Amino acid sequence: MESTAAIFMTGATGQLGSFILADLLGFTGRPAHPGPIYCASRASSSFEQLEMTATFLGLESHTLHKHPQVHWIPLDLLNNHEAITALPAQDHQWEVIHAAAVIDVNKGASGANPNVRLTQEVLLLAEALNAQHFTHISSIAVMGNAATLDEETVLEVADFQPNKSKDSLGTYAKSKILSELEVWRAHQEGMSISIIRPGVIVGMGPISASPQELWWRLWHKKLPISTDGRTGIVDVRDVAEIVGRAHRERLQGPFVAVGSNPEFHDFLSGFRDALGRDQKLRPLNRDPWLRRMRALDSLKHLPVVGRFFGASMRIMLFSRNTYNGHSGATLLEKGYRKADQTFQEMGAAMREAFVRA
């Protein structure tokens, strides 16, 4: 069903959010959303990502953030009452796209992540607005099963692990699991939802932004190792297309957005080569390093360096999961982009950004 409602969107100034906004505005070859789009912004928000995304898409740099359909609402997303007051008083039918998230995959299992509270507040706002539909950007971090790191497994849509107490889960994975559970609870209470679970999103943006950390490390030759672990990756443009179609057609999902499952060595080498760098990556293979890191597990309680010795770090480095992205592929007009194409096109944009800096 095509939407004519007003959309309230979080995360529009981020990497994925900027491409979703471009898709909603019709700049990616798909139908534009006909109504207004209200985007949350913080006092610290910058339009640099939106300008870079517009330029990447061949548009004038101001096209996205100054588009007449786009209205910026300065507010604190952790306070839904403030959000309700800040939104226009006119009687809209509302839809919500929740693309904001704090990415802290390097923190390990300690510390706090605000993603759960953020999702709770946005769901309360959606309820107060009597939103007709709620689209939530989750993550493949919510997926898993009982297999050990010594096994190679294929993870399907049904492999959801809502268990916040597992020591092996980092703060980011826990936050995304609990956030998705909040959305499923809202659905049980009658809310129409879509859920998209992207893999590691390969895109481009400001060199200081957290999604570009790998680009930054490889440009500055500060990533000396690689492993034979594996993860699911996806082009940011493919995720935006999946989100846009799922939202427009109110398709529930969940949809796993993973275009390929490379080993980390191939993944990092693709990034490095796209940047035109010549850094050698020292292989830290599962045999024998997984066994050695397990033997040092007791060091995980040490301050500062402990996070490098816990189970969550071993999973990050040595997991051999393959994520089945077929569900997401069904929403793509031409299928997933090849990883090499993504590396080269995004790498060219990032190389230009580093040279300018």
- What's the gap between Cα 133 and its chain centre? 20
pLDDT score, position 166: 58
> Do 284 and 225 form a contact (C-beta atoms < 8 A)?
yes
Helices (H) and strands (E) in the chain, counts: 12, 13
φ/ψ bin of 335: left (φ > 0), alpha (ψ from -120 to 50), beta (otherwise): left
User: Which of 82, 136, 200, 152 lies closest to 320, judged by CA?
Assistant: 152
Degrees to nearest 5, angle at CA 339 with 334 and 344: 105
Q: What is the pLDDT of residue 162?
A: 73
The distance from CA 264 to its chain's CA centroid, rounded to whole angstroms, is: 18
pLDDT along the chain (357 residues), means of 10: 77 97 96 94 88 98 97 82 72 92 59 83 92 97 78 90 63 89 97 98 95 95 88 97 97 98 95 94 86 82 71 78 97 97 98 95
- Give the pLDDT of residue 167: 58
| Structure-block tokens of residue 134 | 């709620």
Instruction: Determine the angle formed by the axes of helices 48-56 and 15-24, rounding to 10 degrees.
Output: 60
What local confidence, expressed as pLDDT, does residue 294 receive? 83
- Say if residues 131 and 98 touch (Cβ distance below 8 Å): no
Question: What pLDDT sits at residue 304?
Answer: 63
- What the chain holds in terms of domains, given with CATH numbers, is 6-203+232-260+322-334 (3.40.50.720)
Q: Rounded CA gap, 244 and 19, in Å?
A: 10
Residues whose CB is less than 8 angstroms from the CB of residue 115 and which lie 6 or more positions away in sequence, other chains included: 101, 102, 172, 175, 176, 178, 179
Q: Do 173 and 270 contact (CB within 8 A), yes or no?
A: no
Query: Tell me, what's the pLDDT at 154?
Result: 93
Report the pLDDT value the prediction gives residue 168, as an integer from 0 to 100. 62
Give the pLDDT confidence score for residue 90 in this predicted structure: 65
